[in-house]
Structure 1
Amino acid sequence: MLKLEARPEASRLFVFGSPLLALAITVLIGVLLFAALGKDPVRGLQVFFWEPIKSPYALGELAVKATPLLLIALGLAVCFRSNVWNIGAEGQFVIGAVAAGGVALLADKATGPWIVPAILVAGVLGGMAWAGITALLRDRFNANEILVSLMLVYVATLVLGYLVYGPWKDPMGFNFPQTKMFEPVTQMPKLFTGSRVTIGLPLALLGAALLWVFLFRMRAGFALQVGGLAPAAARYAGFSSRR
């Protein structure tokens, strides 16, 4: 009789082989689906894997779209490492954008470049505050963070909708749900001429490096992970699992 057993330790080969195998299976299933739909599989794979990297402009657009996803992933990595199942990153991102946009709307023709750091800080604090609602409800009332964080995504979307349909609506926007255009001074500095890539990309990469140091080279990061995986062991070691 066949029996599946967990390996005593991770296979070195499959540490790298598993992602490649998953990619190969994904490509194979994609080819079969394209063929079943009567589409050209080669062209389909080209759109997914070649078009985003075929030119400097394409690489720049890829970096623009990847930057907020990387920042979101860093925040979620902290949650998941501490065994907190936060699935409300979209809502936290939206409220962070709302807070940053609110500061940007305060700018006028006389505003100086100091507004850019203020916008960045507002975005961080907005996302933190929205995530803090989930943390507070879990800590005080033992509410399920999966449900709370997920439901807050819809609330965040409604908050954004209220603002762009209401108080922040551009009176010259032909009734579209949007704010007035932000002043040029509020825009993040570009890395390259002719590209939309901003300083957000190096900031996100720096954040990834700092998060690695925090999680794997600092006592606080170790305590966070132990507190999530084994609260009793954390308390025995003198760590606050609640914190």
Structure 2
Amino acid sequence: YLVHGPWRDPEGFNFPESRLFPDAAILPVILDDTRLHLGLPIALAAVVLGWILVRKSFIGFQMRVAGLADGAALYAGFHRKRMVWIGLLAGGAAAGIAGLCEVAGPIGQLLPSVSPGYGYAAIIVAFVGRLHPFGILLASLLMSLLYLGGESAQMELGLPPAVTGIFQGVLLFFLLAADLFINFRVRLAVGASLATEEAAS
């Protein structure tokens, strides 16, 4: 709404974008000749805070109990709806900080298409990271390599933009398949069903 209305750049040839941010509003670059800015230590601090919240605090314990066993949380007197709201607000705050680092970092202005599907990629990152803050950190590095590799393949090989999404989907598919075979014992019951039919006849 803002880039289409009150914050639209009057000198932007009617494109939905804001003015370029001044230098005071841009996150400083950590390493010269790179795009690595202050968002990296902010992200690392968010990982540590998330680990403390989820693994070392009573609120995190309540959230885990409410997520794993709703009946046990109710029996213990935990407020399930409150835990859901805390999780939603914490996730929204983290997403807002990530968007701030993206806008005030390499982009330098507000655009209507700041995120090229980061929300859907975050679901895969959470699954690959096993819902652990430090695992999510490593999974996010893997996902960033997929994004960069997909962009390189598009530019050098002329592949369509859907290649990155295909790689992400294949990764999630094989991860869920591995979980299926690890957590459940899959057996072929063809012989048993035939024996049952013969005994019944």
Specify if TM > 0.5.
no
TM range (shorter): 0.3 to 0.5
TM-score (norm 2): 0.38
TM-score (norm 1): 0.32
